[in-house]
A and B are shown apart, each in its own frame.
Chain A
Amino acid sequence: MEKLLIKNGIVVDPFTDTQVKRDIYIENGLIKDIKKEFVGASGINVINADNLYVLPGLVDMHVHLREPGFEYKETIKTGMEAAIAGGFTSICCMPNSNPANDCKEVNSFIINKAKSFDLCNVFTIGAISRNNEGLNLANIGDLKHSGAVAISDDGMPVEDSSLMARALLYAKTFDMPVISHSEDIKLRGKGIINEGIISHKLGVNGIPSIAEEIAIFRDIKLAEYFGASLHIAHVSTKSSVELIKMAKNKRINITFETCPHYFSINEDSLLSYNTNAKMNPPLRTQEDVDAIKNALREGLFDVIASDHAPHSEDEKNTTLDEAPFGIIGLETSLALTLRLYHEKYLSMLDIANLMSYNPAKILKLQNRGAIVNGNIGDITIINPEKKWTYKKENIKSLSKNSPFINKSFKGAAMYAIINGKIFKL
């Protein structure tokens, strides 16, 4: 069977909290041995990882694959290809497809289709409410038993606090984490970008930062009161960071995620009515960006996820008002995060925690997220010094809606090893 030796890399393992030079031997898709020097027999594939960082396979727990329903934006297959290109070995897809992933039939369709490709791992996130409409609970037990790892109404925030409360309780019955897109949707109203000087300058409706903060506060309170496990997606503001501090101080069972765009660029990116910088939550002020970066340095965040949200060029080629929210991120997520490594906000171990160990732990992905014997052979090998430019023609995702096209980066994944299978990047 398949035998693989990753030689001489700097192994970054969040589980043991270590970063040391090791050889890793993978056989039949599983990590078999980790030692200083592995003297192998013949018939073994060898990857020379001199000066490279070897991390547990990166997990992006917040991705929108657009199949079924919007295959012109992204298919399960193109999404998986984009994930691998970005160094991810596992991705988790949100349920807002059409039909929504709110039942075992859709859930099984996605899982089976993904399995048929032999690319990366795809885990599904089922809906909280039927058709993400916020009116009735989805069959959450069925979603769990057909393989979903969490539930969320991402993109369609649960407005009704009583529905959210019961979703937390009901999901607890099935030991299912709930992921909240925390937003007061009525307060967002017709807003399309951050409310502030830029929205005033452009003459467009703004989304006040409090639309996020009020909802995060509500969700923290719900999780605290019901003792349920909750994950807050895509945090973007300075005051939200204060709320995270409060929740962490009170040791509430709640985890927080941010996305690379919130610590990389600010609302100035929208000055030219650039629809590829329109997403929800919106890009905020530099003060917010700095707060997110500092929060990452302080270890307040648990997860960095891309919120990869593909939309076709035609859909984005319009006014700021009409263009849909969302940008792709799978292929830039690691590189943007490595900027924080170079700026000394994050260590390689931090990155392994934020992009692999913690998401695997939150979603209870068995035997992933750490480099230990017996774990699944999911590995991402990173060269933090590699210089490259993000070119539109090289994008694997079917959609090209990124504000980072033509930007130069330092740092990239060189290999994604998925269930022991090598993808050279």
Chain B
Amino acid sequence: MDYAKKDLISINDLSKSDILYFIDTAKEFKKISLQDIKKVPTMRGKTILNLFFEPSTRTKTSFEIAQKRLSADTINLSISQSSVVKGESLSDTILNLQAMKPDAFVIRHYESGAPFFISNITNASVINAGDGINEHPTQCLLDIMTIFEHKKEIQSSKIAIIGDVFHSRVARSDIAGLSKLGAEIYLYGPQTLMPRFINSDNIKIAGSMVQAVKEADVIIMLRVQKERTAIYFIPSIEEYRTYFKLTDEILKLASKDVLILHPGPVNRDVEISGSIINSGRTAIFDQVENGIAIRMACLYILLGGRHS
């Protein structure tokens, strides 16, 4: 198995077997994090630039740890202290950094398509760590990895994705990735936060929370942002909580061994009852753990696997 592309920009660029290859590779790398000495020399001498144009806790830390465990040289560019604030254009910033001969850029950007743009002007590998409302491919891979740890099959399983689907790069990547694996996807949330143009039979917009959750094998809850109230997407957080929160009661309708995921950060008791998390019924922390393995696998496949 091989993966020939230089970048990981979109889940749509991966075939089903690519996805499985990334996950199989991640399974191996997961073991490293469980060792006493959590480091391998695989990526010694590789230089990786982490460019986060947007705040991030999980993803940024996860990438950095993945890089360190692979012995890569990692530089975190703090955008707020960079030339970007002096008005340097994105392409100039990248071209200057490119001259320093990095092997990879890890990009988180508030604008959709920024990593794609960057990938076209650099020879280095580019990994999309989340762009605007577009995609978050490593999150999708870690979600799939987590599902496979709990479920034998994704083919024909019912997966509910609930919340602000429209603004969610996680949802966009998950929908694309899970579709490739044959999942039946049910989306639910206020209609203002649903995608409006879906051209695939396996993706349905549920008419109610009950319809979405009923007999679901996996439920992926999405964060709703307070800012969405300001531009008419939802009336208020209070109302969101009343009608779109995953509660213990609704959860009873799901399949008995339902797997609950959330990409974080969680607004407890807005999109999901705190009690569901407290009772250990979610796999949120498995997702975080698998995130490191997936990012190690991505770096290895894009850089290490190809060049060494």
Residues of A within 8 A of B (CB): 130, 136-142, 145, 160, 162-163, 166-167, 169-170, 172-174, 226
A-B contact pairs, 30 of them (CB 8 A): A136-B229, A136-B230, A136-B232, A136-B235, A137-B229, A137-B235, A139-B236, A139-B238, A140-B235, A141-B235, A141-B239, A142-B239, A142-B242, A145-B242, A160-B232, A162-B232, A166-B192, A166-B232, A167-B232, A169-B191, A169-B192, A169-B194, A170-B191, A170-B192, A170-B233, A172-B191, A173-B190, A173-B191, A173-B192, A174-B243
CB distance from A106 to the nearest CB of B (A): 15
Contact of A139 among B194, B231, B239 (CB under 8 A): B239
Tell me if B234 is interfacial: C-beta within 8 Å of chain A. Answer: yes
Give the complex CA separation of A160 and B231 in angstroms: 11
Interface code B63-90, partner A: CB below 8 Å = 1, 0 otherwise?
0000000000000000000000000000
**Contact status B190-A169, CB under 8 Å:** yes
**Contact status B242-A141, CB under 8 Å:** yes
CB distance from B101 to the nearest CB of A (A): 47
**Contact status A170-B242, CB under 8 Å:** no
CB within 8 Å of A: which B143-163 residues: none
CB distance from A127 to the nearest CB of B (A): 10
Residues of B within 8 A of A139 (CB): 235-236, 238-239
Give the complex CA separation of A141 and B245 in angstroms: 13
**Contact status B229-A170, CB under 8 Å:** no
Residues of B within 8 A of A166 (CB): 192, 232-233
CB distance from B114 to the nearest CB of A (A): 25
Give the complex CA separation of A130 and B234 in angstroms: 12
CB distance from B203 to the nearest CB of A (A): 17
Size bracket of the B interface: 10 to 19
Residues of A within 8 A of B243 (CB): 141, 174
Residues of B within 8 A of A163 (CB): 232
CB distance from B234 to the nearest CB of A (A): 7
Give the complex CA separation of A162 and B233 in angstroms: 10
CB distance from A188 to the nearest CB of B (A): 23
Nearest A residue to B231 by beta-carbon distance? A162
Residues of A within 8 A of B234 (CB): 137, 170
CB distance from B226 to the nearest CB of A (A): 13
- Total A-B Cβ pairs within 8 A: 48
The prevalent SS among residues of A at the interface is helix
Residues of B within 8 A of A226 (CB): 196
CB distance from A257 to the nearest CB of B (A): 24
CB distance from B207 to the nearest CB of A (A): 9
Q: Beyond the given A136-B229, A141-B239, A169-B191, please list 10 additional residue pairs across the A-B interface where CB-CB is below 8 A.
A: A130-B235, A136-B236, A138-B235, A142-B242, A145-B242, A162-B232, A167-B232, A169-B194, A170-B191, A172-B191
Residues of A within 8 A of B191 (CB): 169-170, 172-173
Nearest A residue to B191 by beta-carbon distance? A169
Give the complex CA separation of A398 and B200 in angstroms: 58
CB distance from A126 to the nearest CB of B (A): 11
Residues of A within 8 A of B231 (CB): 162
Residues of A within 8 A of B238 (CB): 139
Give the complex CA separation of A19 and B276 in angstroms: 59
Residues of B within 8 A of A173 (CB): 190-192
CB within 8 Å of A: which B230-263 residues: 230-236, 238-239, 242-243
Residues of A within 8 A of B235 (CB): 130, 136-141, 170
Residues of A within 8 A of B242 (CB): 141-142, 145
Q: Which 10 A/B pairs are nearest by Cβ-Cβ distance?
A: A137-B235, A169-B191, A166-B232, A139-B239, A173-B191, A141-B243, A169-B192, A172-B191, A139-B235, A166-B192
Q: Give the interface centre of B192, B231, B235, B239 by most chain A CB atoms within 10 Å.
A: B235
Give the complex CA separation of A127 and B138 in angstroms: 43
Give the complex CA separation of A130 and B235 in angstroms: 9
Residues of A within 8 A of B236 (CB): 136, 139
Contact of B190 among A138, A145, A170 (CB under 8 A): A170
CB distance from B52 to the nearest CB of A (A): 31
Give the complex CA separation of A173 and B194 in angstroms: 10
Give the complex CA separation of A68 and B235 in angstroms: 23
CB distance from A325 to the nearest CB of B (A): 27
CB within 8 Å of A: which B183-242 residues: 190-192, 194, 196, 229-236, 238-239, 242
Residues of B within 8 A of A137 (CB): 229, 232, 234-235
Give the complex CA separation of A1 and B299 in angstroms: 80
Give the complex CA separation of A140 and B192 in angstroms: 13
Give the complex CA separation of A145 and B231 in angstroms: 23
Q: Give the interface centre of A137, A142, A163 by most chain B CB atoms within 10 Å.
A: A137
Give the complex CA separation of A250 and B231 in angstroms: 31
Nearest A residue to B236 by beta-carbon distance? A139
CB distance from B133 to the nearest CB of A (A): 16
Give the complex CA separation of A142 and B244 in angstroms: 12
Residues of B within 8 A of A142 (CB): 239, 242
CB distance from B282 to the nearest CB of A (A): 25
Nearest B residue to A160 by beta-carbon distance? B232
CB distance from A364 to the nearest CB of B (A): 15
CB distance from A150 to the nearest CB of B (A): 16
Nearest A residue to B194 by beta-carbon distance? A169
Residues of A within 8 A of B196 (CB): 226
CB distance from B278 to the nearest CB of A (A): 26
Give the complex CA separation of A138 and B242 in angstroms: 14
Residues of A within 8 A of B229 (CB): 136-137
Give the complex CA separation of A170 and B236 in angstroms: 12
Give the complex CA separation of A160 and B238 in angstroms: 24
Nearest B residue to A174 by beta-carbon distance? B243
Residues of A within 8 A of B233 (CB): 166, 170
CB distance from B270 to the nearest CB of A (A): 14
Give the complex CA separation of A162 and B192 in angstroms: 11
Give the complex CA separation of A140 and B234 in angstroms: 9
Give the complex CA separation of A174 and B239 in angstroms: 12
Give the complex CA separation of A136 and B232 in angstroms: 6
Give the complex CA separation of A163 and B233 in angstroms: 9
Give the complex CA separation of A138 and B236 in angstroms: 8
Give the complex CA separation of A309 and B232 in angstroms: 29
Give the complex CA separation of A138 and B229 in angstroms: 10
CB distance from A11 to the nearest CB of B (A): 37
Give the complex CA separation of A140 and B243 in angstroms: 11
